[in-house]
Amino acid sequence: MKTSLWTPGNGLIDRVLPAGAFATTPRKGMELVNLAKLGIMPGLGGGRAHGTHVAGDVVTQTASGTDLNVVWRDFLDLLNAANSSRQALLRFLTFDVTNPTELVAQAGGGVDFERSTEFGEPVGARIQPTYFNLGYTFFWYDLAARYTWQYLADATDTMVNSVADAAVEAWLRLQVTEVLRTIFNNTNLGVNINQQAYVVYKFYNADGTVPPSYKTNTFDGTHTHYKTTGGAGANTNVLEATDLDVLVIDDFESHGYSISGGYRFVLMANKANSDTIRGFRSVVNGGTGRYDFLPAQGQPGQIMLQNQNIVGQVQAVPNTLDGLDVIGTYGPLIIVKDDYMPASHVLSFATGGSESLNNPVGFRQHAQTSLRGLRLVKGRNPDYPLIDSFWSVGFGTGIRQRGGGIVLQLASGTSYTPPTEYA
């Protein structure tokens, strides 16, 4: 036998020897090959080119020299960071829920004292807050991140990371879009949860639900928080101070939402409508509203007439509300500029603060903790999870506080139409 033949341990030639090609009995002109000595069992073929992959067989680094498993771990770190803190807009609009339905007490209602008599027993206080059985949607969303090994061989870290960044951005945008669609679309949704039909409600929308009464304020089943401003002529699509006074502030307060009750009122508008609000002045100050717009700290100042004095407490609010871009206040409303808002609508809501129980939208995630937030699901090869991996997230939304938000459409008509962006 020639010494150049492959034997276990010498590794000279990487050969594949089909088992059937070997003679098992001596023939003329042929050598009997001792397969056992060669380390090849009869009936089996192959050598180092076949069998289990090892690290040297595939691309393990990006073009810039970073181990792909390090990239994978970086993605998981990115996810942890992205999942640990929700966007400011969502923190103020939503409250996390995990159940498909909830009984939620609505603002209003209460108990009454009665006048005492000498021998009488006081009536028992039986608190009967109005509960609504509220449903939440739930959908899974996914996005595959498919890399070929050729791509990974030539891609730099930045190129690979950009795919992850895009996925995270898409997830953040998806959450905002779905929450705003829940808010702006005024039609209740029917969902089937575990073979049971539930209704995913919107803000009060004249669906026959009678809001709880508050003090002397009563409501009927036609009450709606989706309104048109009804302006005419040049004011058809223009937000006015009186819109906020009558259609927003009065309505919130009639339900019992108040600053003293722990709520803050936020009005969100796009840049154009925010700029309009900057010009709102009270009647005593030459305008048409009840209040004056006051710029937030750090916002551009405004020149006022010198003969006017401050009446009442003037306190400039910070120019950020836990990340939201605050331009100032109009009465009790904190004005937030955000171009997620459509030009044709403005949104007002009462919030109990960041991720407060009193926030208007329920953000439903899976009951299993491990299935919450954005997840990166491994690909088929456990040694190289990045290849064929995909991004997955499951969540749903529904209104929790039906009186906690008011949407104004800047239109002359008498019936509300959702904006095309969130219809």
Shortest distance in whole angstroms from residue 241 CB to other proteins: 9
Contact criterion met (CB below 8 Å) for 289 and 245: yes
- Taking the complex as a whole, the smallest distance from the CB of residue 210 to other proteins amounts, in Å, to 13
What's the rounded Cα separation, in Å, for the pair 395 and 372? 8
The answer to whether residue 106 forms part of the interface with other proteins (CB under 8 A) is: no
Q: Considering only the stretches 86-94, 120-128, 218-226, 386-394, report the one whose residues sit in contact with other proteins under the rule CB under 8 A.
A: 218-226
Q: How far apart are CA 342 and CA 350, in angstroms?
A: 19
Name the one range near other proteins by CB under 8 A: 102-110, 130-138, 150-158, 215-223.
215-223
**Which DSSP string do the residues of 142-190 spell out, in sequence order?**
EEEE---HHHHHH--HHHHHHHHHHHHHHHHHHHHHHHHHHHH--S-EE
Q: Does 165 bind other proteins (CB under 8 A)?
A: no
Q: How far is the CB of 129 from other proteins (least distance, A)?
A: 21
Provide the residue type at 46 as one letter: G
Q: Cα(361)–Cα(371) distance, rounded to whole angstroms?
A: 21
> What is the nearest approach in angstroms of other proteins to the Cβ of residue 229?
6
**Single-letter amino acid code for the residue at 3:** T
| Closer residue to other proteins (CB): 221 or 298 | 221
Q: Does 225 bind other proteins (CB under 8 A)?
A: yes
Fill in the per-residue mask, 227 to 246: x = in contact with other proteins (CB under 8 A), - = not in contact: xxxxxx-------x-xx--x
* Smaller CB separation from other proteins, 295 or 403: 403
Establish if 224 lies at the interface with other proteins (CB under 8 A).
yes
Q: Which is nearer to other proteins, 200 or 407 (CB)?
A: 407
Q: How many helices (H) and strands (E) does the chain have?
A: 8, 17
- Binding-site member from 102, 251, 292, 325 for other proteins (CB under 8 A): 251
Instruction: Pick between residue 184 and residue 198 the one whose CB is nearest to other proteins.
Output: 184
Asked if 263 and 350 touch (Cβ cutoff 8 Å), the reply is yes
Does residue 223 belong to the site contacting other proteins (CB under 8 A)?
yes
Q: How far is the CB of 85 from other proteins (least distance, A)?
A: 35
How many of the chain's residues bind other proteins (CB under 8 A)?
Answer: 26
The answer to the question of residue 359 lying near other proteins (CB under 8 A) is no
Measured CA to CA, the distance from residue 385 to residue 379 in angstroms comes to: 5
In 150-223, which ranges are E strands?
Answer: 189-193, 196-200
**389-399 and 375-377: which strand pairing?**
antiparallel
Q: Is 222 in the site for other proteins (CB under 8 A)?
A: yes
**Binding status of residue 201 toward other proteins by CB under 8 A:** no
| Residue 321 tokens, joined | 């509300």
- Amino acid occupying residue 97: V
Part in contact with other proteins (CB under 8 A); list of ranges 152-160, 191-199, 219-227, 312-320: 219-227
> Which residues are CB-neighbours of 190 under 8 A, at least 6 positions away?
197, 198, 199, 200
Nearer to other proteins, 386 or 407 (CB): 407
Q: Considering the rule CB under 8 A, would residue 414 count as an interface residue with other proteins?
A: yes
Q: Nearest approach, Cβ of 81 to other proteins (angstroms)?
A: 42
> Under the criterion CB under 8 A, does residue 292 sit at the interface with other proteins?
no
Q: Are 158 and 416 in contact (CB under 8 A)?
A: no
Pairing mode, strands 389-399 and 361-365: antiparallel
Q: Does 217 participate in binding other proteins (rule CB under 8 A)?
A: yes
The per-residue b/e assignment along 219-245, b for 16 or more CB within 10 angstroms, e otherwise, is beeebbbbbbbebeeeeeeebbbbbbb
Question: What is the H or E stretch that residue 317 is in?
Answer: none
Cβ atoms of residues 338 and 325 within 8 Å: yes
Q: Name the minimum Å distance from CB 266 to other proteins.
A: 18
Q: Which residues bind to other proteins, rule: CB under 8 A?
A: 206, 217, 222-232, 240, 242-243, 246-247, 250-251, 254, 406, 412, 414-416
